[in-house]
Amino acid sequence: MSRHIISILLENEAGALSRVSGLFSARAYNIESLTVAPTEDPSMSRMTIVTTGSEDVVEQITKQLNKLVEVVKVVDLSEAEHIEREMMLIKVRAGAKEREDMKRMADIFRARVIDVSDNTYTIELTGDGRKLDAFIQALDQSAILETVRTGASGIGRGNRILRV
Amino acid sequence: MDRVKGVELTGAEIVVRCLQEEGVEYVFGYPGGAVLFIYDELFKQDKVKHVLVRHEQGAAHAADDYSRSSNKVGVCLVTSGPGVTNAVTGIATAYMDSIPMVILTGQVPTAAIGLDAFQEVDAVGITRPCVKHNFLVKNVKDLAGTIKKAFYLAQTGRPGPVLVDIPKDVTMQSCEFAYPETVAMRSYNPVRKGHPGQVRKAAQLLLGAQRPMIYTGGGVILSDAAKPLGEIVRLLGFPCTSTLMGLGGYPASDPQFLGMLGMHGTYEANMAMQNCDVLLAIGARFDDRVIGNPAHFAQNPRKIIHIDIDPSSISKRVRVDVPIVGHVPDVLQDLIKLLSAEGGKPDIAPWWKQIGEWRARDCLKYDRNSKIIKPQFVIEKLYEVTRGDAFVTSDVGQHQMWAAQFYKFEKPRRWINSGGLGTMGFGLPAAMGVQLVNPGATVACVTGESSIQMCLQELSTCKQYRLPIKIVNLNNKYMGMVRQWQQFFHGNRYSESYMDALPDFVKLAEGYGHRGVLIDKPADVEPALRDAFKRKDELVFMDFLTDQTENVYPMVPGGKGISEMILAEDL
Ligand SMILES: Cc1ncc(C[n+]2csc(CCOP(=O)(O)OP(=O)(O)O)c2C)c(N)n1
């Protein structure tokens, strides 16, 4: 079992997302995260799926994805050098007592405070999943009010390009 | 196309025009609110004929089998809500066996979608896992293009059912009609030609084989590859077996054919499959009913070449050494060219000797002197009486396996059964589709008293359209296959597998306006069949009272390896 990050180019059509997610549930494949948004060509979406499975299962996953009529291209990014990023918004308690500490912690992780109220901060942090986990760990757990993570997006390094 | 500038057609007219453009002869369907405009247009023309079934499951099966026996795309038309849900079993059946078919479904008006309208179901959602693709058409301007795509997708690549969901208001709106001549989709480009390097590797492996085996499946039938298959088998002189779905792809009476393999395959086919050193798999998918336990199968080392149109069928359950993705007939032609150039068959005499010994076990023997009708005997007689030239449809159960084992199919598209989904109720509507596409042909439906009751209402359709199907009911008063499993694996506890309160099938057939006959003695089997098949214009329902305790042998118990068979003589 290993972790794979799979990139998919697919037609930006109603129902395409449910075909992909339906495939994963129907065939009992794992999904750790799934992100999707249109590309620079609005008729096409780019999806990133993080999954775990044996080599055989991941081979089946890519083949089954390719079989979907709306899927244009599939690449297992983890087969070669690639970059992964995830974004997190985290709202923490930040009253007069905690403010300074929170700000310092955010700086250490190169996170940004993007919203402030009397007693809260909303912090934005981008990085790979482990970095986001580490930030959460580093905080006083009782100070965390809300977290929202996008799931990973990935791209190949250098000349490794996924397009039609 | 004959685009008429300025003239607009309604969505309903467009649907019918598209069917005409596709050369569709028959539509199998059932009307209802959401498709009334389409039915109105069907009424106004006579190029596309409509066959009114008695239940939408029947429409889907009949369209499916129209396709199976002809390789034309079967079409079925049903209304929204219950029309769709009733058809789902038939759609899933076609999907599991990769049958090209187009299903048109009515939908509530676009403005009502999502509001729990009367007879609303999410047809696209419900059928998503059991179609090759599906569409919801929200704008009449997209209708013709979508139907064109549906027909294209259904029959190219690995075939399959494609559903087009059409809201009622779309059938009422109008636009100019132009039926596209071609389809181009950047996301869908099935490969046809096999990779030459892989084909070369395959040829080398085959020529070096000592214990080769050719294993063929439904893909051979679907891609019309029987001819090149025959050539390659004879060219190499290798033994050949077939899955349930591939029967007829290679002539069953040929000595190189070892019979069907798998859970109820012959001893020789299963032993050769397990013990071969080079396996050529063609349009087959190593499923659980064929190779049993994959770990057991993998115990014997062998090199596997696998030709299939669908990459996801390759190395799914069994690791393959030489994958070749492509259209089976094209790949076989390339392979034949290479093999003929090399010349010379490998000498595999010792392997044939071994196979001969396995054959000598005579694994399909049964008691021919029985005083009770043996089901196998009925199928053997059916084969004789129809001179092996009938279209045989079947339901699901023991009778299906006996038909597969004892009717020697010589030609493709003659054996029509639900192998993937195993749908009881399939046989009779299947026979309707087959008879309609092959008028005048001999069509037999081999069934059991339990299966036939699942789509029995179609006897009425058969009457309406004068379909002279011959129903061979192997009546053992049990869900025989269930009873067999209960006997072997559940301590003879026949839980709910006895078919009590059976109807009088003779009267039942007569009630529908057909001919019914009861046969309860072995001596009457052949005369009854001869009489029935003489009646070219009548449906005859033959109710054969057969041995209630007969089992299908050989049998590979679930989870076991294919060479671990239970044989009749073991008990
Ligand atoms: C729709 C459906 N329900 C249940 C089953 C499970 N099943 C498989 S074979 C069988 C018994 C079939 O009995 P019958 O039609 O009498 O045939 P026989 O095995 O006796 O020849 C059953 C219930 C099935 N295949 N399909």
Using one digit for the tens of pLDDT, what is the confidence trace for B527-544?
Answer: 999 999 999 999 999 999
Q: Residue B275 corresponds to which tokens in the numbers above?
A: 């013990």
Residues of A in contact with B183 (CB under 8 A): none
Atom of ligand 1 nearest to the CA of B399: 21
Q: Do B311 and A63 touch (CB under 8 A)?
A: yes
SS3 B240: strand
Instruction: Report the atom number in ligand 1 closest to the C-alpha of B481.
Output: 19
Q: Which ligand 1 atom is nearest residue B423's CA?
A: 26
Give residue B91's pLDDT.
98
**B128 and A CB contact within 8 Å:** yes
Q: What is the pLDDT of residues B170-186, one digit of tens each?
A: 999 999 999 999 999 99
Is the CB of B448 within 6 Å of ligand 1? yes
Residue B6 region by backbone torsions, left for phi larger than 0, else alpha for psi between -120 and 50, else beta: left
| Beta-carbon separation of A164 and B186 below 8 A | yes
Contact B128 A11 (CB under 8 A): no
Distance from CA of B228 to the nearest CA of A (A): 27
pLDDT of residue B3: 54
CB-ligand 1 contact for B476 (6 Å cutoff): yes
What burial class does residue B381 get, using C-beta atoms within 10 Å of its C-beta: 0-12 exposed, 13-18 middle, 19+ buried? buried
A164 interfacial to chain B (CB closer than 8 Å): yes
Is the distance from CB of B98 to CB of B218 less than 8 angstroms?
Answer: yes
| Most A CBs within 10 Å, among B98, B312, B315, to test the A interface | B312
Ligand 1 contact, B445 CB (< 6 A): no
CB contact under 8 A, A11 and B136: no
A15·B188 Cβ contact <8 A: no
Residue B104: which H helix or E strand, with range? Answer: strand B101-107
Interface touch B312/A63, C-beta < 8 Å? yes
CB-CB contact of B300 with B274 (8 Å): yes
Instruction: Give the atom of ligand 1 at the shortest distance from the alpha carbon of B402.
Output: 21
The nearest alpha carbon in chain A to B310 belongs to: A67
Contact yes or no for B315 and A56 at CB 8 A: yes
CA distance B463 to chain A (A): 40
**pLDDT band per the 50, 70, 90 thresholds, residue B5:** low
- Tell me the sheet residues that pair with A7: A48, A75
The neighbour count for residue B368, using CB atoms within 10 Å, is 10
Q: Which of A18, A63, A164 sits opposite B128 (nearest CB)?
A: A18
Within 10 A of B409 (CB to CB), how many other CB atoms are there? 26
Cα(B113)–Cα(B126) distance, integer angstroms: 15
d(CA B259, CA B359): 10
Comparing CA positions, the residue from B70, B438, B411, B419 lying closest to residue B226 is B411
Helix (H) or strand (E) holding B153: helix B143-155
Q: Do A15 and B186 make contact, defined as CB atoms within 8 angstroms?
A: no
Residues 158-177 in B contacting A (C-alpha not used; CB under 8 Å): 158
pLDDT per position as a tens digit, A82-132:
999 999 999 999 999 889 999 999 999 999 999 999 999 999 999 999 999
The residue among B343 and B168 whose pLDDT is bigger is B168
- Interacting residues of B442 by C-beta distance below 8 A, sequence separation 6+: B386, B389, B390, B391, B470, B533
Does the beta-carbon distance from A69 to B187 stay under 8 Å? yes
What residues of chain B lie within 8 A of the CB of A62, using their CB? none
Residues in chain B: 571
Residue B524: partners with Cβ closer than 8 Å, 6 or more residues away: none
Tell me how far apart the terminal alpha carbons of chain B are, to the nearest angstrom. 67
pLDDT per residue as tens digits for the range B248-303: 999 999 999 999 999 999 999 999 999 999 999 999 999 999 999 999 999 999 99
pLDDT given at position B571: 61
Q: What is the pLDDT of residues B541-569, one digit of tens each?
A: 999 999 999 999 999 999 999 999 999 98
* Cα–Cα distance measured from residue B154 to residue B85, given in angstroms and rounded to the nearest whole number: 20
Tell whether ligand 1 has an atom less than 6 A from the beta carbon of residue B422: yes
Per-residue pLDDT averaged across B146-157, rounded?
A: 98
pLDDT of residue A66: 97
Residue that has been written with the tokens 């070892």 in this structure: B258
Checking if the pLDDT of A73 tops 60, the result is yes
The answer to whether the CB of B33 falls within 8 A of the CB of B79 is yes
**Beta carbon of B482 within 6 Å of any ligand 1 atom:** yes
Q: CB of B395 closer than 6 A to ligand 1?
A: yes
Q: Is the CB of B485 under 6 A from ligand 1?
A: no
Residue B398 Cβ < 6 Å to ligand 1: yes
Q: How far is B95 from chain A (nearest CA, A)?
A: 14
Nearest of B180, B5, B194, B31 to residue B104 by alpha carbon = B31
State if residue B449 touches ligand 1 by the CB under 6 angstroms criterion: yes
For residue B496, the CA-to-ligand 1 centroid distance in Å is 12
A72: closest chain B residue by CA: B187
C-alpha Rg value of chain B to the nearest Å: 24
Exposed e or buried b per residue across B319-329, where buried means at least 16 C-beta atoms within 10 angstroms of its C-beta: ebebbbbbbbb
Interface of B with A in 315-334 (CB under 8 A): 315-316, 319
**Confidence at B7, pLDDT banded by 50, 70, 90:** confident
CA distance, residue A22 to nearest chain B CA (Å)? 7
Token look-up 């093999």 returns B339
Please report the DSSP string for A126-139 in residue order. EE-HHHHHHHHHHS
Using CA positions, which residue lies closest to atom 2 of ligand 1? B424
What is the pLDDT at residue B71? 85
Q: What is the pTM of this model?
A: 0.97
- Hey, which of B396, B418, B496, B543 would you mutate to test ligand 1's pocket, going by the most ligand atoms within 8 Å of its Cβ? B396
What distance in angstroms lies between residue B402's CA and the mean position of ligand 1's atoms? Answer: 14
Determine the pLDDT at residue B1: 46
Q: What is the end-to-end Cα distance of chain A in Å, rounded?
A: 31
Residue B4 binned pLDDT confidence (cut-offs 50, 70, 90):
low
d(CA B386, CA B375): 17
| Helix, strand, or coil (residue B132) | coil
Q: Chain A within 8 Å of B188 (Cβ-Cβ)?
A: yes
Count CA atoms within 13 Å of residue B78 on its CB side: 30
- Is A69–B188 a contact, with Cβ atoms under 8 angstroms apart? yes
Q: Which residues of B are catalytic?
A: 56, 118-119, 168, 481
The radius of gyration computed from the CA coordinates of chain A, to the nearest angstrom, equals 19
**Residue whose CB lies within 8 A of the most ligand 1 atoms, among B55, B424, B497, for a mutation test:** B424
In one letter, which amino acid is B300? N
Q: Which residue has the tokens 């019918």?
A: B16
Q: What is the mean pLDDT of residues B133-142?
A: 98
Per-residue pLDDT tens over the stretch B399-416: 999 999 999 999 999 999
Q: Measure the CA–CA gap between B556 and A92, rounded to whole angstroms.
A: 62
Taking the centre of ligand 1 as the mean of its atom positions, its distance from the CA of residue B498, in whole angstroms, is 11
The two tokens of residue A75 are 């690449």
Cα distance between residue B362 and residue B271, in whole Å: 13
* A163 at interface of B, judged by CB pairs closer than 8 A: no
B166: β partners: B106
Q: Show the DSSP H helices in B208-276 as ranges.
A: 218-222, 226-236, 267-275
pLDDT digits (tens, 9 = 90+) for B478-528: 999 999 999 999 999 999 999 999 999 999 999 999 999 999 999 999 999
Alpha helices, H only, chain A: 16-26, 55-67, 99-108, 129-138
Q: Is the CB of B424 under 6 A from ligand 1?
A: yes
Binned at pLDDT 50, 70 and 90, residue B344 comes out as confident
Of A7, A83, A85, the closest CA to residue A47 belongs to A7
**Mean pLDDT of the region B1-27:** 88
The residues facing B471 across adjacent strands are B445, B541
B360 contact partners, CB below 8 Å, separation of at least 6 = none
Q: Whose CA is nearest to atom 13 of ligand 1?
A: B479
